[in-house]
Amino acid sequence: MTTTTNTETTLFVSTENLLNEWLGHRRLTRRVIEAFPEDKLFDYSIGGMRPFATMIKEIIDISGPGIRGIATDNWEHAGNINNHSINKEDQSKDGLLKLLDQSTEEIIAFWPEISDARFQEVVLAFGQYEGQVFSTILYFIDNEIHHRAQGTVYLRSLGIEPPAFWNRD
């Protein structure tokens, strides 16, 4: 039981509901990957931008390890977040979806390990990005929405209708 003064911290969204919002985004992100022809996932580009697979690898590298780091304060094995190269054995649509699912499982597994107070604390994510935990996590999600949306333009330019943005089921 915790007593809070409502004028200081009115609840916008609870940790549980925010996680559910994120998992809804994950389902949509998965569908956008699935909508790509396998080859276009790895070699299609507009305006010199990265292929969609590399953007997705960034999302994978940031999200699972990011939540693990926030939960454990151990960023040692969080990987090189400036290099989102994909291992040869994962260079297929199935391989990428598997990596995405693993990072989603990591988010789900470590979320309950984040203490209640932690969400308002200042963290140095990946040893270099300072911010309050809620803001850092929103950044992870915003980054996923941002790159996924770029992927939908790739799809449209390939003549493929992207999955509906509003559907998070």
Applying CB under 8 A, the residues found at the interface with its own copies are 1-6, 8-18, 21, 25, 46-49, 116, 119-120, 132, 134-135, 137-139, 142-143, 145-150, 152-159, 165-166
Min dist CB 128 to its own copies, Å, is 12
| Closer to its own copies by Cβ: residue 102 or 130 | 130
| Closer to its own copies by Cβ: residue 12 or 94 | 12
Min dist CB 5 to its own copies, Å, is 6
* Residue 54: CB atoms within 10 Å: 16
Q: Is 6 left (phi over 0), alpha (psi -120 to 50) or beta?
A: alpha
- Cα–Cα separations (whole angstroms), residue 129 to 69, 75, 114, 137: 12, 12, 18, 12
Structure tokens at 19: 């996680």
Q: Is 126 left (phi over 0), alpha (psi -120 to 50) or beta?
A: left
Min dist CB 41 to its own copies, Å, is 16
| Closer to its own copies by Cβ: residue 98 or 168 | 168
| Closer to its own copies by Cβ: residue 83 or 159 | 159
